[in-house]
Amino acid sequence: MPFRLPRLRTLRPVCTLVDRLADSGDDPWCCIPSEAFAGSFGSGRRHHFAAYFEGESTVPVRSVREVCDFLAGCRYVRDPDLFREPDYWQHPLTFEQLRMGDCEDHALWAWRKLKELGHPAHLVIGSSDLLSQYPGQHAWVLFTAGGELFLFETTAGRREKMVRPLDEVRATYRPHLSVDHDGAMFVYGGFAEFMMETRRRRKEAKARDRAPPPGPGEA
């Protein structure tokens, strides 16, 4: 899932975020509400978030277990292979028909279904140490049930690996942005870390480009 970097004019909120997270112990899960990076969720998001709840679902669910069962029967397929596009967010109703897609397609469907079940949930964009086959940006869901916060890894393929208490797996995930069922958006410490690292690498690349070529005998 390609990541759309904010324009330079939006970098000031990143610096503000870094300042506000200074006392958090560099916790990537520390977050603040912000809509400054609404355009950075992914280039494949071409609708407002409320649009993903429109229409009537043909897959009824009565429990989180049934959400997992449906997703376990779906295939992970990258957008370039399925749609010939680098990034494309399927509508959940389309996903129900195809039963295949990448991480955000699985996560969007689960996010919608959790709302139907009455579980407050966030759609989260970030990165994960678990991505060995397809490294890069990732999408998952956070939801609350019985007063406990769970991480829903919607592409795990097996029910027992999909829903885990957040405290058990938080070290392997670095959230960047999230949106809840009401459309409220949040930015995380993991996003600030990502942006600062990106800027550092860009500066290093520019410095290398400006460096004069080695003279005779210096190579």
Q: Identify whether 190 is part of a domain.
A: yes
* Residue 68, CB-side half-sphere exposure with 13 Å CA sphere: 15
Q: Identify whether 77 is part of a domain.
A: yes
pLDDT at residue 218, rounded to an integer? 54
pLDDT at residue 219, rounded to an integer? 44
Q: Identify whether 214 is part of a domain.
A: no
pLDDT at residue 8, rounded to an integer? 34
In total, how many domains does the chain have?
1
Q: Identify whether 140 is part of a domain.
A: yes
Q: Identify whether 55 is part of a domain.
A: no
Q: Identify whether 47 is part of a domain.
A: no
CATH assignment of the domain containing 187: 3.10.620
pLDDT at residue 2, rounded to an integer? 39
Domain carrying residue 148: 8-38+62-208
Q: Identify whether 137 is part of a domain.
A: yes
Residues near 79 by beta carbon (within 8 Å), at least 6 away in sequence? 1, 44, 85, 86, 87, 88, 101, 102
Q: Identify whether 52 is part of a domain.
A: no
Q: Tell me the C-alpha to C-alpha distance, in Å, between residue 8 and each of 12, 13, 37, 169, 174.
A: 8, 10, 12, 33, 23
Number of neighbouring beta carbons within 10 Å of residue 183: 11
pLDDT at residue 134, rounded to an integer? 47
* Per-residue confidence in pLDDT tens, the chain, 219 aa: 433 333 334 445 555 665 665 455 578 888 888 888 888 898 889 889 999 999 999 999 999 999 999 999 999 999 999 999 999 999 999 999 999 999 999 999 999 999 999 999 999 999 887 655 444 589 999 999 999 999 999 999 888 899 999 999 999 999 999 999 999 999 888 887 777 777 777 777 777 777 666 555 554
pLDDT at residue 10, rounded to an integer? 45
| pLDDT tens-digit series, residues 143-184 | 999 999 999 999 998 888 999 999 999 999 999 999 999 999
Q: Which tokens go with 56?
A: 């009537």
pLDDT at residue 77, rounded to an integer? 95
